Amino acid sequence: MIKRRKTRPVFVGNVKIGDGAPIVVQSMTDTKTHDIEATLNQINRLAKAGCEIIRVAVPREEDALALPEIVKNSPIPVIGDIHFSPRIAMLSLESGIHGIRLNPGNINDEGKIKEILQECKKRNIAVRLGVNSGSLEKRLLDKYGYPSAQALAESALYWSEFFEKVGFTNFKVSIKGSDVLQNVEANKIFAEKTDIPLHVGITEAGPKDRGSIKSAVGLGILFYLGIGDTVRVSLTADPEEEVKVAYQILQSLGLRRKGVEIVSCPTCGRIEVNLPEVVKQVEEKLSGIDKPLKVAIMGCVVNAIGEAKEADIGLACGYKSAILFKNGQPIRKVSEEEMVDELLKEISQMDIK
Ligand code: SF4
């Protein structure tokens, strides 16, 4: 069992982060934010896929001016992603937005940051305090020579103390290093010293396959250590993939259950059905299910009976056929041709809509 780090709560709109809440899945739109229609279409698709908080880029004034309409029509809380410009930050705060992301390191003006925080407090807007290896303060680069894990954690601790000193506590922190171990180490150092919730993710992880693996490795270590209150998987891919991968990682550690979990064997010389095709068809046909459902599809008797019994429903395959299991009990024998349809028929009778 994973023992999660004790953190204080932060609310982004009506979504609770920290204090034992389920790890919240976030993503970020890749549309031009000022294209309101495209941005809202993407937000709606992401919310349907399970995204619980959405972040939108706000690089220019026209993007900040689009926020009121986006916030008004978004089914999930919206965070504005703001870099460099205190002016754009202040303008965004007028939009009804639920949160903003700021990297103090790239604003680098304590007076301006204080003004933004005071405005956030007045409007009950949460902040994500971001520290990235690419925008570390000069004094830390001078001290450590490069953006080490220690330097990243020190920056996050410095700015957290600054936020609290000016009376602002409604924030979470993200610390993003350029490689997996640096990221893990920096988050670990910070987590040991505070109860501030952490937004975790492996930044710029890469394209879908490589990025998913890199994210699973890094996030797997952090989650195992109990670190992480909200997550974004960053992929060079459709943001819906980020949401899917985030849930798969959380699901594999028993931290969230959502949608279908397929347990299937890798196949070997004992296989006597076309298992990859069966798994592919089942995965495709069940992709729209939101409620947790564990489906086991096993190639032969070696592990099949046990796995199929552990699942909500399953197939234990043999020679050109399978035993269909439901709730741990064998219900009937089905041929290879009918096994997908029979499995889906049984699932359609279960309370999983
Ligand atoms: Fe091979 Fe059977 Fe194991 Fe599948 S379940 S990998 S077919 S031994």
Give me the CATH number covering residue 181.
3.20.20.20
Q: Cα separation of 320 and 190, whole Å?
A: 55
Write the residue with the smallest CA distance to atom 7 of ligand 1.
299
What ipTM goes with this model? 0.98
Q: Which of 252, 286, 308 is the last residue of a domain?
A: 252
Task: Look at residue 353 and tell me whether its pLDDT is greater than 80.
Answer: no
Q: Are residues 211 and 283 in the same domain?
A: no
Q: Are residues 174 and 127 in the same domain?
A: yes
Give the number of the atom of ligand 1 that is nearest the alpha carbon of residue 270. Answer: 7
- Residue 303: its pLDDT value, please? 78
Q: Are residues 279 and 243 in the same domain?
A: no
- Residue 135: its pLDDT value, please? 81
Rounded to the nearest 5°, which phi and psi values hold at 100? Answer: -130, 155
- Residue 352: its pLDDT value, please? 66
Q: Is residue 353 part of a domain?
A: no
Q: Which of 184, 218, 252 is the last residue of a domain?
A: 252
Q: Are residues 36 and 121 in the same domain?
A: yes
Q: Identify which of 264, 267, 309 to mutate to test ligand 1's pocket (most ligand atoms within 8 A of the CB).
A: 267
Q: Which pLDDT band, with edges at 50, 70 and 90, does 302 fall under? A: confident
Alpha helices in the chain (DSSP H): 36-49, 61-73, 86-93, 104-107, 110-123, 138-144, 149-165, 180-193, 208-224, 239-252, 275-285, 301-310, 339-348
Q: Is residue 143 part of a domain?
A: yes
Number of domains in the chain: 2
Check pocket membership of 272 for ligand 1, CB cut-off 6 A. no
Task: Look at residue 100 and tell me whether its pLDDT is greater than 80.
Answer: yes
Encode pLDDT of 342-351 as tens digits. Answer: 999 999 988 7
Q: Is residue 3 part of a domain?
A: no
Exposure letters 324-353 (e unless 16+ CB within 10 A, then b): bbbeeeeeeebebeebbebbeebbeeeebe
Q: Are residues 245 and 272 in the same domain?
A: no
Q: Cα separation of 77 and 318, whole Å?
A: 49
Check pocket membership of 268 for ligand 1, CB cut-off 6 A. yes
- In the reported structure, the alpha carbon of residue 337 is separated from the centroid of ligand 1 by a whole-number distance in angstroms of 20
Q: Which of 252, 287, 304 is the last residue of a domain?
A: 252
Write the residue with the smallest CA distance to atom 2 of ligand 1.
300
Encode pLDDT of 221-271 as tens digits. Answer: 999 999 999 999 999 999 999 999 999 999 999 999 888 889 999 999 999
Q: Are residues 16 and 89 in the same domain?
A: yes
Q: Which pLDDT band, with edges at 50, 70 and 90, does 203 fall under? A: confident
Q: Is residue 219 part of a domain?
A: yes
Q: Which pLDDT band, with edges at 50, 70 and 90, does 308 fall under? A: confident
Q: Are residues 160 and 296 in the same domain?
A: no
Residue 51 assigned as binding residue: no
Q: Cα separation of 318 and 320, whole Å?
A: 6
Residue 265 assigned as binding residue: yes
- In whole angstroms, what separates CA 176 from the centre of its chain? 14
Give the number of the atom of ligand 1 that is nearest the alpha carbon of residue 301. Answer: 2
Q: Cα separation of 251 and 22, whole Å?
A: 12
Q: Are residues 76 and 224 in the same domain?
A: yes
Task: For residue 151, give the nearest of 228, 8, 195, 159 by alpha carbon.
Answer: 159
Q: Are residues 18 and 71 in the same domain?
A: yes
Task: Look at residue 309 and tell me whether its pLDDT is greater than 80.
Answer: no
Encode pLDDT of 101-151 as tens digits. Answer: 999 988 878 999 999 999 999 999 999 999 998 888 888 999 999 889 999
Q: Are residues 241 and 297 in the same domain?
A: no
Give the number of the atom of ligand 1 that is nearest the alpha carbon of residue 300. Answer: 2
Task: Look at residue 179 and tell me whether its pLDDT is greater than 60.
Answer: yes
Q: Are residues 119 and 187 in the same domain?
A: yes
Residue 268 assigned as binding residue: yes
The residue type of 159 is: W
Residue 317 assigned as binding residue: no
Domain with residue 315: its CATH number is 3.30.413.10
User: What's the chain's average pLDDT?
Assistant: 93
Check pocket membership of 297 for ligand 1, CB cut-off 6 A. no
- Residues spanned by the domain of 294: 260-348
Q: Is residue 112 part of a domain?
A: yes
Q: Is residue 4 part of a domain?
A: no
Check pocket membership of 315 for ligand 1, CB cut-off 6 A. no
Q: Is residue 5 part of a domain?
A: no
Give the number of the atom of ligand 1 that is nearest the alpha carbon of residue 298. Answer: 5
Give the number of the atom of ligand 1 that is nearest the alpha carbon of residue 268. Answer: 1
Q: What is the share, in percent, of the chain residues with pLDDT greater than 90?
A: 81
Check pocket membership of 269 for ligand 1, CB cut-off 6 A. no
What one-character-per-residue DSSP string does 12-33 give? ETTEEESTTPPPEEEEE--S-T
Q: Is residue 2 part of a domain?
A: no
Q: Are residues 238 and 274 in the same domain?
A: no
